[in-house]
Chains A and B, each alone.
Chain A
Amino acid sequence: MSGQEMALSPAAETPLSSTTRLHELVVTVDHKKLGLMYIGTGLIFFIMAGLMVLIIRMQLAVPNNTVVPPQVFNRLFTMHGTTMVFLVGMPIIAGLMNYLVPLMIGARDMAFPRLNAFGYWMFLFGGLLLYFSYLAAPGLAGAGSAPDVGWFAYAPLTGRAFSRGHSTDYWILSLLVSGVGSMVSALNVIATIISLRCKGMTLMRMPLFVWMVLVVSGMILLAMPPLSAAQIMLLLDRFLGAHFFDTQAGGSAVIWQHFFWLFGHPEVYILMIPAFASVSEIVPVFSRKPIFGYPAMVTATVLIGFISVGVWAHHMFSVGMTAMGNTFFVVSTLLIAVPTGIKIFNWLGTLYGGQIRFEIPMLFCLAFLFQFLIAGLTGVMLGVAPFNWQLTDSYFVVAHFHYTLVGSFIFMMFGAIYYWFPKATGRMLNKRLGLWHFWLFLIGFHLTFDPQHIAGILGMPRRIYTYDPGRGWEIYNMISSIGAVFQAAGVGCLVVNLLRSLRTGAPAGDDPWDAWTLEWSTTSPPPEYNFETLPEVRSRRPLWDLKHPEDPDWKYE
C-alpha cells in the first residue's frame, strides 16, 4: 500500500525501482508512511487471524466434528486471540494515530520520528516472532508448536510443568517486544500532542480524535508495564526456577490474573477509544453538524481513562474473591457505563437535526452505534457479579467481546479506512464494492455472534474444541459458522476494493467529504512536510470557518 502511496505523491513522479522503494520503506521516519505501514501490516495479520477463525468455525459447526485435532484447535484460538489484540488492534490504532495526529494538529511530523520508526519495527519483529513459533517452537524434543495457552495465558498452565517446549516462550517474548513498540509509540503521541500543536490550537480546540488518542496513549503507558512485568516474571519462572506463578512451589495463580487484567481491561478501552475517536470525526461530517457537547465528550473520555484502570477484577468474579471485593468491582464496572452512555447520547445528539449522508464510512458508523449499544448492555449484564458467575467463560462472553471488538472496533476501523483512504492515497474507494463489503460483513457479523449469546445461556463454555449433541447448542453453532463465511466474503470485498482503488480509484481531491479538520486542508496524499505553511486555527472546525466566513465557529465557542 505504501509503495502505491509513494507512487502517487508528487515527490515520486519519476518511477522508482522496487529496491529503491523497499529501501525507502525500511529507512523512512515519515509519520504518514509509518502509519500506513502499521495499518497495512495490521490488515495482513487481520486476514491471517480471520483464516484461522474460519477453521475454528468449521470445527464447531457440528457436534463431535474432527476437522482439526484438539491441540491444533487450541493453538488456533490462542493465535487468533493474540493476533487480533496485539497484532491487529494495536498496530491499526498506532497507524491511525501516527497518520492523523500530526495532520490534525497542523504539525510537520511526530515529535520523535526515529522513535516512531523504532516502534513500528519492534511491533513487526514481535509479530514475526510469534508466527515463527510454528516453525521453531518444536525445538529438538519435538514438543509444542505455536502457543496453546489461550490469549490470556493463565498460570500455571504456562509453567514448565504443563507447557513443555518453547511455544509459551515465543508467546511471552513476542508480546514483550511488540509491547515495547506500543509504549514508545504512545509516548511519541503524547509528546507530539503536547508540544507540536499549531498556532491557535488550544487543548479545547483539538479535534476530538486527537483528545481521545491522547487519553489512549496515557492508558497504554499505564497498562503495558504490568503485562510486561508479569511476562518477565513468567520468563524467570520458566528459565531460572523463580516461583512467582509456580503453584507447586507456593506461587500464586491468581496474581497472574491480577497482573494480566490490570493490563487487559484498560486494553479493551485502548482499542475502543480510537473507535470512538473515529466515530466522533465521521458522524459530524456526515450529519453536517458539529459534535454535540464537545466538553462533555472530552470529560467522558478522560473519565473512562481513569475508571478503566480500576475495573480489572470484573474478569475475575469467579476466582473466589470476597463479597466486598466483588461488590467493589461491580460498582466501578457499572460506573463506567455512565461516561460511555454519555458518548452514545452525544453521537445521537449530533445526528439529531442533521442531514445524514449515507456514505460508506457513515454506514459503518451507524452499524457501530447499534452494535456498541448492545455490547455496552451485555457488558452491564456481565458487570452484575452474580449474573457473571453464570455467564463468564461461556459463549455469552465470547459474543459480548466480539460485539465490542468486531461489532464496534473492527466496524469503525473499516469506517476509518473508507473515510481517510482518499486522504492517504488521493483516490476514492469504490462505493459499490464498499456497499457489498458493508452488507456482507454486517449480515455475517449478526449471524455469527447473535446466536452465541444464546449458546452461552445454554451453558456452552468457551474454548472447547468440540461438544456432544443434545444440549441445544447445535443450531446456534451452525448459524454462527455460516455467518463466518459471510464475514470472510465481506473482507474479501475490502481487499479487492483496496487493491483496485489504489490503481484505478476516482481521484479524490483535497477534501472529498466536505469536512472540517486540518488534514483535509492539505493535498491528497499530503506532501512529506504536510503543510506548505503551518496553519493557524481559531476554532475546533478551521475548515468550516474557511468555508463559512459569514458564520464562523469561533463566534460561538
Chain B
Amino acid sequence: MELRLRVQTGFAWLFATVFVPCCAVTLSAPSALADVTSIFRPLSTPAQAVYEISLLTLAICAAIFLVVGGLLAYTIIRFRRRPGDERREPPQVYGSNQIELAWTVVPILIVFVLILATARTIYDVQGAILPADTLNVTVVGHQWWWEINYPKLGIMTANELHVPVSESDRRRPTRLRLESADVAHSFWVPQLAGKTDVIPNRRNSMWIEPIQPGTYVGNCAEYCGLQHARMLLRVIVHAPADFEKWVAAQQSPPVEDAQARAGRDLFFATSCINCHAIKTTTANGKFGPDLTHLMSRETLGSGVITNTEENLRSWVRDPQHIKPGALMPNMQFTDDELNQVVAYLLSLR
C-alpha cells in the first residue's frame, strides 16, 4: 500500500516536473513576442518568411509532442505495477507488423510535408530576385567590431548599419556582402533575418528588407575569440527622406573646428592614425573603425557603451578597462592630452 502511494506521488511529481513545464514552455513562447529582439517578432521580409515556416514547424512538433507525450504518460500510469502483479508476468507480446508499419508510414508523411515546405522557404529566401536599385553594403567582421562600407555611396562607418525602410509602393531591400578580416564571425539581427556567417577568404551574402523604421539590435553569433560577447550590432532603419539626409551627412568632409586644433595635432602626431582613418586627411589606417563621423554613432566599442562625451573620454583613456582584450591599446595620454584628443574627436560629427 505504502509503495503504491509512493508510486502515485512519484507520478504526480513526474507530471509536474516534466510534462507540465514542457507544455508551459511551449505555450509561453508567444509571450516572447513582447520582447524586441525576438525571432518571433519579424519586421523584415526574409525574417517574416522564416517566421512562417517556424510556426508550421512548431505546430507540427507541438502536435507530435502532445500525442506521443500524452500516450507515454497514459501508458506509464495505466500499466504501473499493482498489488498482486508479483504473482504473474503480463502477456508477452513480441511486436505487431501492422502497428509498426503504421508508425513508420505516418512519420514519413509528416517529414515529407515538412521537407516540401522547407525547400520552398529556402528557395524563397536564397533565390530572391532583388530590385535593380537595391542598396549594396559590404560588412567586414573584425575582432571585435564591424566595418560597414557603402561602395557606391563612398561611405565608411562602423558597427551601425543605416538602411532605408522598404515601403509597399517602393521596395528598398539591402544586400549585404559579408567578409571577414580575421576569423569567422556571424551577422545576426534576429528581427531582420536569420544569421549568415562571416568567413575569411569567402564571400557570403544575405539580404534584409525592413518594413518599419527604428533601431534593431543584434550581435556576432559565431564565437570569434576573447570579446565575442562584446561584438554587438545595430541596424538603424530610416524613412526614405531621413536616409538621404544621413547619406549626405556621411558624405560630407569632416568639419574643421579651430578650437580642436591642439587635439587634432596630437591625434596626427601619435599612432592613432596607424589604425584609424579620417576622410580627406592623412589618417588612413584600416585596422580600427573609420572616425570621420564618429560622433554620429550611437555607441562606442561595438556597442559596449553609449557614445557620450564622458564615455568617450573613459574609452580613450583606457579601452582595456572597458573591453579587455580589444585591439586598441591604452595610449597613456596625460589628462591635458586626453582633453585635447577628446575635444578633437567630439568635433568629428
Contact = CB atoms under 8 A, between A and B. Distances in A.
A318 B186 contact: yes
A70 B29 CA distance: 31
Interface in B182-221: 182-184, 186, 188, 190, 193-197, 199-202, 204-205, 217-221
B22 A374 contact: yes
A394 B201 contact: no
Contact of B194 (A355, A378, A389, A453): A389
Interface string A497-516: 00000000000000000000
Contact of A390 (B7, B71, B190, B197): B190
Given A323-B127, A327-B119, A355 B79 contact: yes
A54 B82 CA distance: 41
Nearest to A451: B25
Contacts of A289: 90-93
A156 B80 CA distance: 55
A551 to B, nearest CB: 8
B35 A253 contact: no
Contacts of B193: 389
A389 B196 contact: yes
Interface string A324-354: 0011001100110110011011101101111
B53 A386 contact: yes
Interface in B206-250: 217-229
Interface stretch (B58-66, B132-140, B163-171, B260-268): B58-66
Contacts of A354: 79, 90
A355 B85 contact: yes
Contacts of B194: 318, 386, 388-390
A457 B32 contact: yes
Given A349-B95, A385-B118, A390-B195, A458 B61 contact: no
A293 B100 contact: yes
B115 interface: yes
B253 interface: no
A363 B17 CA distance: 13
A103 B50 CA distance: 51
Main DSSP-derived SS at the A contact region: helix
B300 to A, nearest CB: 14
A160 B8 CA distance: 60
Nearest to B56: A384
A446 B17 contact: yes
Interface residues of B, number: 101
Contacts of A464: 219, 228-229
A288 B89 contact: yes
Interface stretch (A40-48, A106-114, A243-251): A243-251
B103 A323 contact: no
Contact of B80 (A356, A381, A387, A439): A356
Interface stretch (A173-181, A263-271, A364-372): A364-372
Contacts of A369: 72
Contacts of B182: 156, 161-162
A203 interface: no
Interface string A540-557: 000000001001010011
Interface stretch (B36-44, B152-160, B277-285): B36-44
Contact of B75 (A348, A374, A466, A472): A348
A380 B61 CA distance: 8
A424 B37 CA distance: 52
A465 B18 contact: no
Nearest to B32: A457
A327 B119 CA distance: 6
Contacts of B19: 370
A157 B222 CA distance: 11
Given A254-B199, A355-B81, A458 B221 contact: no
B225 A157 contact: yes
Given A320-B196, A335-B111, A459-B38, A348 B95 contact: no
Nearest to B125: A386
Contacts of A150: 223
A348 B94 CA distance: 13
Nearest to B119: A327
A130 B217 CA distance: 38
A229 interface: no
Interface of B: 7, 10, 13-14, 17-19, 21-22, 25, 28-29, 32, 34-40, 47, 49-50, 53-54, 57-58, 60-61, 64-65, 68-69, 71-72, 75-76, 79-82, 85, 89-96, 99-100, 103-104, 107-108, 111, 114-115, 118-119, 121-123, 125-127, 143, 178, 182-184, 186, 188, 190, 193-197, 199-202, 204-205, 217-229, 324-325
24 contacts: A154-B222, A250-B201, A289-B92, A290-B93, A320-B196, A323-B122, A323-B126, A334-B118, A338-B108, A341-B103, A346-B95, A352-B75, A358-B10, A385-B118, A386-B118, A386-B194, A390-B54, A393-B221, A393-B223, A446-B17, A459-B37, A461-B220, A471-B36, A556-B92
> Which are the 5 A-B pairs with shortest beta-carbon distances?
A389-B194, A464-B229, A459-B37, A247-B201, A293-B95
